[in-house]
Structure 1
Amino acid sequence: MTFAHPAALGLLALAIPILLLHVLKPRREQRTVSSTFLWESVAHPVSAARPWQRLRPSVLLLLQLLAVALLALAVADPVSITDTPLSAHTVFIVDASGSMAARDGEPNRLESAKDRAAQLRDELPDGGIASIVVVDDSPRVVLTASPDPDAFAAALGPLEPTAGPADWADAFLLAESLETAGAEIGFHILTDGGLTDAEQRLIPPGSRHDIIGRDATNRAITRLAVEPRGSGLHVRVTVANTGGAAATTTVRVDVDGVTAGDGTAEVALDAGETRDVEFDVGGGDRVEAFLEGDDLLDADDHAYATAARRPALTVLLCTAGGVGNAFLEGAFAAADGVTVEACDGSRPGTGADLVVYDRVAVPAEPGAPFLAIAPPGGVPAAGVTTTGAVDGPVITSVDPDAALTQGLDLSEVGIATAQVLDPGPATTVVGAAGAPLLVRGSMSGLPFAVLAFAVEDSNLPLQVAFPILVDRLLTDLGGAALPPTDLVVGEPLPVDTNAGGTVAGPGGSTSEVVAGGPTPTATRPGFWSITPRAAADGTERPVRVVAVNPDPNESRLEPAQAILTPTRTRQEGEAPATGESSLRHWLLLPLLAILVLEWFFAWRRRGVSRAQWRVSTALRIACAALVVLALVAPSWLRPADRVAVVFLVDGSASLGATGRSEAVGFVRESLDRMPDGAVAGVASFGGNARLELTIQPDARFTDPSARIDSTRTNLATALRLAGAVLPGDARRRIVVVSDGRATDG
């Protein structure tokens, strides 16, 4: 044990005047009495010839000396010394990604992480300061270098888990940028794991970590895909058992808020199994899938997708002699809103949404997206040529990720004869050994597909996959592609920032997007409505609805056993950090009790005038009030009277050598003119941002030395860094010295 303020032990000298008061002769009040006969039997004399008397021990004297001793000890603040792994400035890096909402904490993992952070905060070394970096899809600093435990608790309190991923790279960059002069910095990570090997290599050296979470039981909807199928919709729900034992769960599909007639199914999942559940439902605009059952994470039990109705399409079907094709016409008739026009031979499809060249030559300028079926000689203008023919080709490869073939079963398709295509720059989607059968490409900005065989030369029209493939060709080639359904939390919304507009998120929240401003990101799952600003001529642009889902990677809840953190080499002569736990509170309550007892005994032996007694009582009350205030530990907030400035210097290549020199000169001149009491720092930025000079008084800047990515200009990252390092007890200012050409953020 030691004392935080040993000089305060000098207060023990207050015992001297107390002892003097007990040996000095009290000044008696003179009263006229009729006789002193009855006082003659008193053992002690009522008068003294000397101004002092012999010190006599008493309970009152003992209480007063004990009060002085406790007061001196309390002001000296006895502390117990303990070893601590925390640094003088500890940055707490708190994971708030989707998996931290798992309910195997108190009540979830993030709350457990916050409780653990609060415990660790109490173990800081004497005079230690703490910062907090929150890690989600957009990392941010919520507390900067604060010695105040109440400010630490207030910063932790509002944190909530998101449904998005954790951007660890940006989080570690922010954390390392919080270095303060004169205080050794350390980092403590609170997470359930999930860092990739590349992310673990970015962990600051010497970091420590706590793994949060203990269970992994979870079932999740990892994907919801919707495509038009005739007059209705075909919905595919991908369900995964991401942790725990085998289980049976119920999947439900709603269209525009109403459960579809055949929109419910039970799914049995083995441990680690993933299954697709398919539904054919009526038409609508908004599709939702729900997973019922008890698991640890709620966010991934609800998925969203948009299914805007396909606009009317005109298809030009070109055949030899204009005889048509019954198989193709039947498939087109089953698709909603498709009008088929016949064409004799080959001609450009100007005005049509899609042209189908069925065994006829493709013009050099087709004039519209097209599907070529066994075209004689291929499509030379698009780089697709024929090198011969093959009999009885067997499908051996299907691109599972291609929009045209995803989930299609083509294993039963038999083909009599097919062209041997050289796809050139086009992509093979379906192929046989040495013979591409379906290729997809682009020609003069127009999408196209080439089928190497005539549909009549195969059993494809008899397969379930045929109308689906035709429907997808209409959607993919005809320009009727639906809005994306796989946008996840944390990704940018498809907003035209050149025009601006209004974004309405789930729950009714709205925000304005200023023309030329940054692209907003999706911050929560649900349906987002984007209303572009009207055109210059007053024409209203259509509202677009997009679906945003939780990040499927956050559905894997098994906590990591550990994460790899690089070790930090201790500098020569550097002493290990220690923590101090104050014992003052054990002294203040007894001191308060002794003051009350002392007043009671003094009242019983009162031998002074009424005025003197009132003064002494007032002094005792003041002492007791001070003790109570010490227990309460009040704080006084005063307005900031100093200015803190961070200069952000653009270090991208677009500034050029001359511009960079002028920027550095401006910063130097500004630092030289700083008023007294002001503090400043300097950071350079390009694709990333790094501190050149920490926040300090009398800052002096020479030349930029931090290594940054000069090929890009990410102003958002630079502003986040500046906001992170600015102290909270000052009037904060950020000065950007740049050419204004931001390429990112």
Structure 2
Amino acid sequence: MGFTNLLFIWTAFIPVIVLLYYFFRKKYKDQPVSSTLFWDEAMQETKASPYLRHLQQNALLYLQLLALILFVLALMNPFVKTTEIEGEQSIWIVDTSASMLAKDGESTTFDRHKEEMKSLAKALNGRPVTIITTGEEPKAIVRQETRESVIHKAIEEIEVAYEEEQLSKAFDMASAFIGETATSVYLFTDSVERGELPIESDKITWVVKGASKGLENVSITRLVSTALEGTTLALIQLKNEAESMQVVQLSLLDGENKRIVQEEVALQGGEEWSKTFEDLPMTNLLTATIQAKDDYKMDNAMVTLVGSGTSEIVIDQQMHQLVQKGFQALNADVKIVPADQLLGMADAMVVTNQKELLQKSASPIVLIGRDDVEAQEVNALVDMSQDSLFAFSSLEDVYVSSIYPAFDDFATIATIDEKPFVQRSPRGDIVILADIEQTDWPLHPSFPLLLWGIQNELIEGTQSLGTFSPGESRAVSLSSGEWSIYSGEGEYISTVEGGGEFRAPATPGVYTISSKEEEKQFIVELSSGERSIQEGTSFELGAIQNGAQEETTKKSFVQWLLIPILLLLVLEWEVQRRRGFAN
């Protein structure tokens, strides 16, 4: 704080003159009168306290002194120094990842950063600001905006998106707005290394606002499960990122949220702990939760779909090489095995033409052709149903010279000349009733796409879409038509079209997607990078050369002194009026 017009400091003598006037004004001496002595004795208890009486007698003096002092301050023009943001424009990059929800006391890092942005908005002084949120697809929610009300509204509407921050993509978007303009870039995140910032330009200064230091975290870093001989096998891994020991309560819940495991785990500082739980009750969904005294709760729960254990693809050595190459192009876990060894294969998807494996093998089977009957000639186009297997592959232009007889108790999902061509067994096996060499199918784009659909269905399962990261876009096997997404609590989320790219919801949790014919589950889970918090970092880096430098302005507050001066004058007038102007 300072004063612009110190020349007017001489006016401070004016209140002194008024004070001296009151000292030398005519005074009256109290003189007792005999006729009033008894009245004085009776009225002692009704008199005001000496302090209040003194104030009543000298109210006008105090009001005048206070008004004159404020008037002297107003003449000297007091001001407050404010520092404006450096540069000709400002760009704010806002981290909206899940780790921003780590709490320091009652406030999260994200909320604290929003309050800092609101304060910075007042210091822009007309400079334009651009606000960019992070994620797989960074978004500029405000572009070159100067109106403070619009900026405040945009800040209020920013929400955590739970995606990984992917700061490099946000930096690339910010560079498009910088150009040759001197710019101050504010990065609101939890932690970032100095080497990650692009500082090759001398027209940029970086200001990093990080998370609070000393945050503690215990997280579930891994949860996998599989069905094994009528039971569930689960592996869970915990990590204590704090320096001190933490005692946590670990619970495992089944698909109906019934607790099937409860255990107390003591974790030393920095310790990673893992354990395998065997012979758990059979369930389609497994949830792990921990109760810990830490500052980040988002990684204290994890959900997984209980898989069938199928993880690799085994192909009959007698199958055509185009089938072998097709699956090898889609999946690295492909083995070529002699025909007589396929029956002993477990926990694998088997591709063969041996019909007997449909009854004898416990593994999911892809039967391409048959080895027990002769093929029959056909001359027609393929007619497909609206099955999810054909969501990304069309067989309408595929030429087939002959097909094998169909299985009576299998569901037909594609036909040729009204004869079954592709079937699905009651347990989910896929049957293609033609040898690859009897078709021109490998010459069509639908060939690898259908192989991918078969792999996705048999490995991931027909009852689920699998696990997604928040907001992740991925191709999934959904038949054409409308599909509705519901949360685990049955709340409607959105509607998507089958046969196109699927984008997962942004909030972690268990979801159900359903059409008129079928229903599937899927999970949205935090990525591994969001299951950890790092030491908070705040710093400034770089300086703008030959551009607008950081400026300090003097903000006067004379207008705030005029109001109390006017109010004091009104009070003086009222005191004079009550006492009588003649007095």
Please indicate the TM-score interval, normalised by the length of the shorter structure.
0.5 to 0.7
Distance 2:483 2:197 in 1: 36
**1-side partners of 2:527 and 2:73: how far apart?**
59
Q: Which residue of 2 aligns with 1:25?
A: none
Q: Which residue number corresponds to residue 102 of structure 1?
A: 102
The alpha-carbon distance between structure 1 residues 85 and 481, as it changes in their structure 2 partners (threshold 3 A), is closer
What does residue 548 of structure 1 align with?
A: 524
Q: Secondary structure at the match of 1:300?
A: coil
Mapped to 1, the partners of 2:450 and 2:560 lie a distance apart of 80
Task: Output aligned runs, 1:512-523, within 5 Å.
Answer: 512-514=495-497, 519-523=502-506
Q: Deviations over 1:50-88 (max 9, x none)?
A: xxxxxxxxx9xx99xx89x979979x9974444445345
Distance 1:309 1:504 in 2: 25
Check whether the contact 2:87–2:549 (CA below 8 A) recurs between aligned residues.
no
With over 3 angstroms needed to count, the CA separation of the structure-2 counterparts of 1:234 and 1:366, relative to structure 1, is same
Q: Which residue of 1 aligns with 2:267?
A: 269
The aligned counterpart of 2:472 is: 491
Q: Which amino acid aligns with 2:468?
A: L
8 Å CA contact 2:211, 2:537 repeated in 1: no
1:501 aligns with 2:499: no
- Whole-angstrom CA distance in 1 between matches of 2:94 and 2:140: 10
Residue 353 of structure 2 corresponds to 348
Q: Secondary structure at the match of 2:258?
A: strand
Q: Counterpart in 1 of 2:19?
A: none
C-alpha distance 130-590 of structure 1, shift in aligned 2 (>3 A): farther
Partner in structure 2 of residue 92 of structure 1: 92
The code of the aligned residue for 2:232 comes to: L
1:530 paired residue among 513, 517, 525:
513
Superposition pairs of residues 592-603 of structure 1, within 5 angstroms:
592-594=566-568, 596-597=570-571, 600=574
After TM superposition, give the deviation of residue 271 of structure 1 in Å: 3.1
Give how far 1:106 is off: 4.2
Q: Secondary structure at the match of 2:368?
A: coil
Q: Deviations over 1:165-210 (max 9, x none)?
A: 11323433444455699x9542212222146955657999312122
State the secondary structure of the residue aligned to 2:107. Answer: coil
CA apart distance, 1:289: 0.8
**Aligned partner letter, 1:489:** P
Name 1:187's counterpart in structure 2: 185
Question: What is the SS of the residue equivalent to 1:157?
Answer: helix
TM-aligned CA distance change 1:135 to 1:71, over 3 Å: farther
C-alpha distance after superposition, 1:401-423 (max 9, x if no partner): xxxxxxxxxxxxxxxxxxxxxxx
* Number of residues of Structure 1 aligned to a counterpart in Structure 2: 417
- Relative to structure 1, the CA distance from residue 210 to residue 257 in structure 2 (aligned partners, 3 Å threshold; closer, same or farther) is same
Match of 1:726 in 2: none
Residue 436 of structure 1: aligned partner: none
Matched-pair contact (CA < 8 Å) for 1:243–1:557? no
Q: Deviations over 1:228-276 (max 9, x none)?
A: 1111221222222233334343321111133354x23333433333333
CA spacing shift, 1:136–1:506, aligned 2, 3 Å: farther
**Matched residue SS, 2:236:** strand
TM-fit CA distance, 1:581: 3.2
SS of the residue corresponding to residue 192 of structure 1 reads coil
Distance of 1:272 and 1:353 partners within structure 2: 50
Equivalents in 2 of 1:138, 1:578: separation in Å? Answer: 37
Change (3 A) 1:279 1:367: same
Letter in 1 for 2:469: V
Structure 2 CA distance, aligned partners of 1:286 and 1:595? 76
Aligned AA (1:97): S
Q: TM-score, normalised by structure 2?
A: 0.57
The answer as to whether partners of 1:349 and 1:355 remain within 8 angstroms in 2 is no
Change (3 A) 1:175 1:552: same
SS in 2 for 1:590: helix
Cα deviation for residue 103 of structure 1 reads 1.6
SS of 1:161's equivalent?
Answer: coil
AA in 1 matched with 2:116: R
- Secondary structure at 1:243's aligned position in 2? coil
Instruction: Give, in angstroms, the shift of residue 129 of structure 1.
Output: 4.7
3-state DSSP of counterpart to 1:207: strand
Residues 234-245 of structure 1 correspond to what in structure 2 (within 5 A)? 234-245=233-244
The alignment's C-alpha RMSD in Å is: 5.3
Shift of 1:303: 0.5
Aligned to 1:230: 229
1:305–1:546 contact (8 Å) kept in structure 2: no
Aligned equivalents of 2:97 and 2:187: distance in 1? Answer: 13
> Which of 436, 460, 466 pairs up with 1:481?
460
Determine the structure 2 residue equivalent to 1:432. Answer: none
Partner of residue 10, structure 1: none
2:493 to 504, 507, 510: 510
SS at match of 2:103: coil
Correspondence 1:165-244 to 2 at 5 A: 165-177=164-176, 185-194=183-192, 205-244=204-243
Whole-Å Cα distance in 1 between the matches of residues 369 and 219 of structure 2? 42
Deviation (angstroms), 1:118: 3.2
Tell me what 2:331 maps to: none
Aligned-pair CA distance for 1:580: 4.3
Distance 2:96 2:237 in 1: 25
Structure 1: where are the runs of 5+ without partners? 7-58, 319-323, 341-346, 357-364, 370-443, 449-474, 535-539, 608-745
1:595-619 per-residue CA deviation (whole Å, 9 max, x = no partner) reads 5237537967999xxxxxxxxxxxx
Equivalence for 2:555:
581
**In structure 2, how many angstroms separate the alpha carbons of the residues matched to 1:490 and 1:202?**
32
Q: Cα deviations across residues 133-155 of structure 1 (Å, max 9, x unaligned)?
A: 33355543444445455544443
Which amino acid letter does the alignment assign opposite residue 593 of structure 1? L
Match of 2:534 in 1: 558
Alignment of 1:292-371 (within 5 A): 292-307=291-306, 348-350=353-355, 352=357, 367=368
**Residue identity in the other structure for 1:301:** N
Which whole-Å deviations, capped at 9, do the CAs of 1:289-321 have from their partners, x for residues lacking one?
11122111111011111236799xxx9999xxx
Tell me the residue number matched to 1:135: 134
Q: For residues 134 and 90 of structure 2, what CA distance do their matches in structure 1 show?
A: 16
Q: How far did 1:99 drift?
A: 1.4
Q: Please say if residues 126 and 578 of structure 1, whose CA atoms lie closer than 8 Å, have aligned partners that are also in contact.
A: no
Q: Which structure 2 residues correspond to residues 341-420 of structure 1 after superposition, within 5 A?
A: 348-350=353-355, 352=357, 367=368
* CA–CA distance in structure 2, aligned partners of residues 490 and 96 of structure 1: 12
Deviations 1:465-512 (A, max 9, x none): xxxxxxxxxx98993434575522232265559645222235524212
Q: Cα–Cα, structure 1 residues 348 and 210, in superposed 2: closer, same or farther, change >3 Å?
A: closer
Q: Contact 1:242/1:272 (CA < 8 Å) preserved in 2?
A: yes
Tell me by how many angstroms 1:125 deviates.
5.2
User: Which residue of structure 1 lines up, in the alignment, with residue 284 of structure 2?
Assistant: 285
When residues 72 and 220 of structure 1 are mapped into structure 2, their CA distance, relative to the original with a 3 A threshold, is: closer
Q: Against the structure 1 CA distance between its residues 136 and 256, is the aligned structure 2 distance closer, same or farther, given a 3 Å change threshold?
A: same
Q: In the alignment, is the contact (CA less than 8 A) between 1:92 and 1:132 conserved in 2?
A: yes
Q: Using CA pairs below 8 Å that are at least 6 residues apart, which structure has the higher relative contact order?
A: 2
In structure 2, what residue type is equivalent to 1:259? K
- Equivalent pair of 1:222/1:240 in contact (CA under 8 Å): yes
Contact 2:220–2:299 under 8 Å retained in 1 = yes
Q: Distance in 2 between matches of 1:477 and 1:516?
A: 14
Change (3 A) 1:326 1:129: closer
SS at match of 1:593: helix
Structure 1 residues 191, 241: CA separation in 2 closer, same or farther (over 3 Å shift)?
same
Cα drift, residue 582 of structure 1: 4.1
TM-score when normalising by structure 1: 0.46
- SS of 2:303's equivalent in the other structure is strand
Q: Which amino acid is 1:524 matched to?
A: T
Q: Rate the CA distance shift 1:569–1:521 in 2: closer, same or farther, 3 A.
A: farther
